[in-house]
Structure 1
Amino acid sequence: MPDMLVKLYNLPEKQKLLNKLQTQGIRIKRAMTADKHSIVEFVGTHFSENWRNECECAFSQLPVNCYIAVKDKQVIGFACHDVVVKNFFGPTGVLQEYRGLGIGKALLLECLYTMHEDGYGYCIIGWVEEALPFYEKTVGAIVIADSFPGAFQDMIGLE
């Protein structure tokens, strides 16, 4: 499970995708602290307890380092940044029935644009497995050699 590196100074345009999603009733927005419980529960229920913990960390920062995808007043996807360690993207996830619409790409781009605006030149995407081709194609991410377990090496579950 290698890490990947993204150049934040050379990101693809995002507005057309955001507009397209909006015409489908899908809104990408920054999470608000008032929605913390429902977002963290969404992540824990549909993805994993580890991701739930990481998402909860996003709410300890202002503005919150989490973006969400919302349709019909329901969260259908999320993406966090700067929660595992500084300069990292993730975790991120979109409900199975909404995959393939560009929601994951939109969430990724919102986070990466925010990281660039925060002064980062590069971003690390940690522990990429089956999503590796997606990140290569979407944002030109490249694999960082010998990067496993990387920032996660001191995690209790890996000892």
Structure 2
Amino acid sequence: MRQASPDDLPALRALARDALVHDPDAPAIVDLLWHAAAGGCRIVAETADTAEPADPAVVGFALGSLRPARDGQPATGHVDLLVVPAGHRGRGVGRALLAEVERRLIAAGAARLRIRGNPPTHAWPGIDIRYTPAACLAESAGYERLLDANNMVVDLAAAERDGFLATDADVRRLADLGVEVRRGEPADEEALRTWIEAEFGGSWAQECSTALRNEPPTLHVAVRDGAFLGFAAHGVQRVPVFGPMGTDGAARGLGIGAVLLRRCLADQHEAGVAVAEIGWVGPVRFYSRAVGARLGRVFWTFEKAVGA
């Protein structure tokens, strides 16, 4: 085991590309989580079982991040990514990597450990259950399951064919009510963050700042009399993923959320995304009715007490 360096990234991307068979953007996921990792929590496992013992091969890696204590919650260490290629599984590599990233997270101050998305920078809500060896490793290492999480998917070609991405009529309807729907602008950032933090809390303000810095901004807003009523973003962590989205409580029922959602999906369709993924879904019925979304990936989330 050793600390990874940026020179390892090409090898780590290649390992992820081969192992994360349900994630076509696996190399980009490595880059995303690499930059979010806590100091000392980028770990590679090597073996000298090669033709050149002096040139060991990377046979797995792990990335972990730390969420500081806040809002009454303890500092939390997140195991964000652990990859062992199929040919090296069953040899204790994954267990050793997990134990090492746990040790380093605890040394960095973690009072509990989780395998669960760590907003604002996360690739998944937990372990996709199709990655069965990862779920088995977590359970064998003493992690307890929390609530399951779900993503939904939208076939964007079908959504366009069925008229789900058309928004002109609704934009005009909202304009008649004094509500302007438009793409977000970098100049919106300060006021938008202030409103989101007051209305929703959590990490959404940070995620929206990221979306506003994309070119063009991957965020749409609804505004009335200079006040924000709603927002929706996409491509914050991963290009195919939609979210977060929120509507002011006093403005719900006007159809603002559906319009903002459809405008984001239209962006993704125009950018060449074939299937959009709505991450960490709450209101399943809303997304199903608004854009024909269907339930997709299921994730198990896990937690472990320090010292367990």
Q: Which bracket does the TM-score occupy, shorter chain normalised?
A: 0.7 to 0.9
What is the percent sequence identity of the aligned residues? 32
- Please name the residue that 2:169 is paired with: 16
Bigger relative contact order (CA 8 A; separation at least 6): 1
TM-superposed CA distance for 1:73, in Å, is 1.4
* Alignment of structure 1 residues 55-94 onto 2, 5 Å: 55-94=208-247
TM-score after normalising by structure 1? 0.88
1:35 maps to a residue whose letter is D
Q: Give me the whole-angstrom Cα distance separating, in 1, the residues matched to 2:199 and 2:157.
A: 33
- Please name the residue that 1:134 is paired with: 286
TM-superposed CA distance for 1:148, in Å, is 4.7
TM-superposed CA distance for 1:83, in Å, is 0.3
Q: Give me the whole-angstrom Cα distance separating, in 2, the residues matched to 1:87 and 1:96.
A: 28
- Say if 2:155 is the partner of 1:2: no
TM-superposed CA distance for 1:10, in Å, is 2.5
TM-superposed CA distance for 1:147, in Å, is 3.6
| Cα shift readout 1:33-56 (whole Å, capped 9, x = no counterpart) | 111111122111111231111111
Q: Give me the whole-angstrom Cα distance separating, in 1, the residues matched to 2:217 and 2:300.
A: 28
TM-score after normalising by structure 2? 0.47
Q: Give me the whole-angstrom Cα distance separating, in 2, the residues matched to 1:147 and 1:86.
A: 20
| Cα shift readout 1:87-121 (whole Å, capped 9, x = no counterpart) | 11110000001001100001001101011111111
2:151 maps to a residue whose letter is D
Confirm or deny: 8 A CA contact 1:68 1:79 kept in the other structure: yes
Q: Give me the whole-angstrom Cα distance separating, in 2, the residues matched to 1:61 and 1:26.
A: 24
Q: Give me the whole-angstrom Cα distance separating, in 1, the residues matched to 2:157 and 2:211.
A: 23
Q: Which has the higher helix share?
A: 1
Alignment length (residue pairs): 149
- Higher mean alpha-carbon deviation, 97-106 vs 83-92, is at 83-92
Q: Give me the whole-angstrom Cα distance separating, in 1, the residues matched to 2:246 and 2:201.
A: 10
Cα gap change, 1:56 to 1:78, in 2 (>3 Å): same
Q: Give me the whole-angstrom Cα distance separating, in 2, the residues matched to 1:15 and 1:115.
A: 17
